[in-house]
C-alpha cells in the first residue's frame, strides 16, 4: 500500500528527536532571529558540506497565523513564504500539494515477480541534477534568490524524479539539496530511505556526491558581461578540446553563430570572450 504524506506525523517525529532522543541532546539550535533567506542559506552552507549534525528545524512562522501553521505544518509554510511575505491560502495549498506529490513520487516503487523494487525511470538522465546542484547553490547562497533556487529544484525533480529504489548516491544528492527548503520531510526521508543515522549522521558533501557521477561534470559556461549557465560535459572530452565541446551547447550555437570567440578558463569553468 502506497504511504501518504502526513506532515504532522513527520513534524512530530522531528520535534520529538525522532522518538529516541531528548530534544536538547538531538538537535543543534539554529542562530536566533534569522530571516527566511538567511535561514535557508545557513542550512545550505552547513548541510551541503556534508551532514555531521541535525539543526533544529523551525516549526512555526510568525508571518502566518497559528491556524495556518497548525493546518499546513512547517515545510508547506516555509515554501509558501518563499513566494510572498503573506501568502494567501491558495499558495499554502499549492505548497502542500507539491510536498505531497514529492513524497508520493519518492516513495513510489513497483514490485516485479521476485518481489524486488525496481526504478520507475531507470533510463533517466541524471545530468540535470548535476547542473541543478550547482545552480541551486549559486542562486540560494551566492545571489540570495531562494525562490529561484527552489524553482530549479522543482523543475529538476519534475523532469528527473528520484524514488526509494534509486541508487543511494542519487537519493542522497536530491534529499540533501531539499534539506534547506523542506527540512522536516528531507530529514525524515534521509533517515528512513538512505540509512543515515538519526543520532550521529554522516554524509558526503554535495561536491563529493556529484563527483561520484564522473566523468560527467557540471561546469560554468559564461559570456563576458552576459549569460551564465551550468552545463554538463564528459570531463575528459572537455579537457581535451573545450572549444569543440562548448560549441555544441544549443544556446552557444544559436547566439554566437557566425561570431568569432575565444575561451578563458575561470575558477569554475570557462568564459566566452567575443
Instruction: Give the list of residues 6+ apart from residue 177 with CB closer than 8 angstroms, or none.
Output: 48, 129, 132, 133, 136, 153, 206
Question: Domain map of the chain by residue range?
Answer: 7-123+161-209, 219-273
* pTM of the predicted model over 0.75: yes
Backbone angles phi, psi at 104, to 5 degrees: -65, -45
From the list 253, 250, 251, 245, the residue with the least C-alpha distance to 270 is 245
Run of H or E including 108 = none
Determine the Cα–Cα distance for residues 4 and 144; give it in Å rounded to an integer. Answer: 33
Nearest CA among 165, 163, 171, 61 for reference residue 103: 163
CA distance 261 to 81: 43
Burial classification of residue 120, based on how many CB atoms lie within 10 Å of its CB (0-12 exposed, 13-18 middle, 19 or more buried)? middle
10-residue averages of pLDDT along the chain (274 residues): 81 56 62 90 95 87 91 94 90 96 85 39 72 96 95 96 92 96 93 84 92 94 92 96 95 88 93 93
CA atoms within 13 A on the CB side of 19: 7
Amino acid at each position: 500500500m502506497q504511504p501518504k504524506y502526513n506532515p504532522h506525523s513527520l513534524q512530530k517525529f522531528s520535534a520529538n528527536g525522532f522518538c529516541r532522543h531528548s530534544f536538547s541532546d538531538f538537535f543543534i539550535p539554529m542562530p536566533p532571529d534569522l530571516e527566511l533567506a538567511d535561514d535557508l542559506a545557513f542550512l545550505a552552507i552547513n548541510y551541503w558540506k556534508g551532514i555531521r549534525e541535525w539543526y533544529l528545524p523551525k516549526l512555526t512562522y510568525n508571518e502566518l497565523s497559528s491556524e495556518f501553521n497548525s493546518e499546513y505544518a512547517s515545510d508547506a509554510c516555509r515554501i509558501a513564504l518563499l513566494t510572498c511575505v503573506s501568502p494567501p491560502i491558495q499558495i499554502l495549498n499549492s505548497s502542500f500539494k507539491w510536498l505531497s506529490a514529492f513524497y508520493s513520487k519518492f516513495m513510489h516503487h513497483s514490485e516485479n515477480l521476485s518481489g524486488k523494487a525496481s526504478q520507475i525511470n531507470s533510463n533517466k538522465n541524471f545530468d540535470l541534477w548535476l547542473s541543478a546542484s550547482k545552480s541551486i547553490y549559486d542562486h540560494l547562497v551566492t545571489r540570495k534568490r531562494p525562490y529561484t533556487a527552489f524553482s530549479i529544484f522543482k523543475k529538476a525533480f519534475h523532469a528527473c524524479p528520484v524514488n526509494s529504489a534509486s541508487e543511494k548516491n542519487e537519493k542522497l544528492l536530491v534529499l540533501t539539496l531539499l534539506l534547506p527548503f523542506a527540512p522536516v520531510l528531507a530529514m525524515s526521508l534521509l533517515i528512513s530511505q538512505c540509512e543515515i543515522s538519526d543520532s550521529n549522521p554522516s554524509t558526503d558533501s554535495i561536491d563529493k556526491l556529484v563527483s561520484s557521477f564522473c566523468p560527467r561534470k557540471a561546469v560554468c559556461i559564461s559570456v563576458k558581461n552576459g549569460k551564465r549557465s551550468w552545463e554538463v560535459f564528459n570531463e575528459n572530452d572537455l579537457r581535451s578540446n573545450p572549444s569543440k565541446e562548448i560549441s555544441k551547447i544549443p544556446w552557444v550555437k544559436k547566439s554566437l553563430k557566425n561570431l568569432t570567440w575565444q575561451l578563458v578558463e575561470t575558477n569554475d569553468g570557462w568564459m566566452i570572450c567575443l
